[in-house]
Every structure is written in C-alpha cells, then in structure tokens.
Amino acid sequence: MDFVSLKNFLEDKFAQYNRIDFIENDPICIPHQYSKKQDIEIAAFFAAILAWGQRKTIINKCNDLLVRMDNKPYDFILNHQDNDLKSMLGFKHRTFNDTDLLYFVSFLKHHYQQNDSLEKAFLSPKLQSDGLIIEQSLNYFRRYFFSLPDFPHRTMKHISSPFQKSTCKRLNMFLRWMVRKDNKGVDFGIWNTLKTENLICPCDVHVDRVARRLKLITRKQTDWKTAIELTENLRNFDANDPVKYDFALFGLGVEEKLNLMKW
C-alpha cells in the first residue's frame, strides 16, 4: 500500500474497533466495572499484568481476583489486614501465583498510602523536571516497584522494562488505557501528566504479525527497539496519537484473522 492508502486503511480499522462493543471481550472490560479512579487504576493494572493467553481466560482470572478483594480493589489494597490476605492464597494464572500477588498487593498499599494515583509511580522527580519519556518512565517504575525490601526475586519477571530490552507490551497497554483521551468510551484517559503523543504502541504477537505484513516493522527481532520502530512509523500517520492504531493492528490480527498475504 502507498502512504495515503495505508493511512486511510488504518484509520478505518481504528474507527471500527475503538468502540464500546469492543470492550466486552477484551481485558479492558475489567476496569470498566468501576467508576472510582483508584479502583479503575488497580483493576486495569492487574488486567494488563495478567493479559497473556486467551482473552476469555484472562477476564475470568481477573474477575476471580477482584472477587477475592470483595470487588472493592482500592478499599482492599488500602485497608486490608494481614488476616484478609488469606483470600489471595491459591490464586494462579500462568506463572503468576499467590507469592507474586501478595507482593503486588504490598507494593500497591505502600504506594497508595502516600499517593492518590498510580500515575505517580511512573514519574520520578527527574522526569517531571526534564520532560517525560516513556522509556525512562518504565525503567523508573520497575525500580520503584521492587524498592520494598521483601520483594520475591521470582516476581521480577512480571514487571518488564526497556532496560531489559522487553517490548513492555502489558505496561504499554496499561498506559494506553490510562492516558489516551477520546470520546469513544474505551480508553479511560484519567491520567494527565503522561501525554498521549509519547505513548509506545503495545507490541504483542498479533500486532507484531500484522505490522510486519504492513511493513511497519522491519527489525528482525521483537524487543523494545521494535516497539519504538513501530510507534515511530505510526507517528507518521498521527503524531499526536500514534498508539490509537493499536486498535487497528490488534483487531486485524485477532478479530478478523484476515489473510495477510493479500496486503
């Protein structure tokens, strides 16, 4: 496709999938159960972290987790007593188990005791004074997340960072949910310091496959630099909101299962 044809194609697919009826079968339905900002943040964070495997299973596991929190995640995180943590025992999704979950709960309690939003976990004083770069924000978040003295070493694999050369798909997806603002009702747009134009496109297997077919990715391996390459190419179509095309690429890869060879 030439530039104009590809832009029009992606715009059409973005409009097709950035709709309320997209929510029901996607992990983003989990935070959409809530209206309080902190409940949304916590539910979205867990939904993003647990987002690997079949979407139906992810949604079921997230709902199971929220039931264990009495469907009041912020209240549970902030006010739980040691005895309440028994409800966390036995939770498991793929390689994420109750040891990991207990540390996540511990970190979130530590953070919310001092802050009113999870956005601040991605903002270091240096970033706030020198300008916000998502790569630095994600690296900072991982260091901050594991700053408590009792973190289990095994849990570190569940929080990725560009420093590790990861695409950081789950965290970039979480940031898209929290930061992107439009009037379609899918993404929340409840954070205001991180900016939409700086977001990096979540690069999962479906997005990667479609993007390569459309020649939006040329890098052989799939790593942080691949996510940057994809986002820079998408920025040519919309510099202010490049990650909106995540809807198009993911939708093409998962929902339509089109024969990519025809492109």
Compute the distance between CA of residue 210 and CA of residue 261 in angstroms, rounded to an integer: 10
Domains of the chain, by residue range, sit at 3-262
**CA dihedral for 27, 29, 35, 39, sign (positive or negative):** negative
Q: What is the pTM of this model?
A: 0.95
DSSP string, 97-136: EHHHHHHHHHHHHHHHTT-S-GGGGG--HHHHHH---HHH
Q: Are the C-beta atoms of 66 and 77 separated by less than 8 Å?
A: no
Q: How is residue 122 annotated by DSSP?
A: G
Compute the distance between CA of residue 28 and CA of residue 6 in angstroms, rounded to an integer: 27
Question: Looking at residue 11, what is its pLDDT?
Answer: 98
Compute the distance between CA of residue 54 and CA of residue 51 in angstroms, rounded to an integer: 8
Compute the distance between CA of residue 28 and CA of residue 225 in angstroms, rounded to an integer: 26
Helix (H, G, I), strand (E, B) or coil at 96: strand
Compute the distance between CA of residue 161 and CA of residue 137 in angstroms, rounded to an integer: 9
Compute the distance between CA of residue 76 and CA of residue 15 in angstroms, rounded to an integer: 37
∠ at Cα 77 (33, 195), nearest 5°? 65
Q: Where are the alpha helices (DSSP H) in the chain?
A: 3-17, 37-49, 55-68, 73-79, 98-112, 125-130, 134-145, 169-179, 205-213, 224-235, 245-250
**What does pLDDT average to in each consecutive run of 10 residues of the chain (263 residues)?**
94 96 95 98 98 95 98 98 97 98 98 98 76 87 97 98 97 98 97 96 95 96 97 98 97 73 51
User: How many C-beta neighbours within 10 Å does residue 251 have?
Assistant: 19
Give all strands (DSSP E) within 22-124, no chain letters: 92-93, 96-97
The closest of 135, 151, 199, 147 to 173, measured between CA atoms, is 199
**62, two tokens:** 């997230």
**10, two tokens:** 């992606």
Compute the distance between CA of residue 4 and CA of residue 12 in angstroms, rounded to an integer: 12
Question: Looking at residue 129, what is its pLDDT?
Answer: 58
Compute the distance between CA of residue 249 and CA of residue 13 in angstroms, rounded to an integer: 8
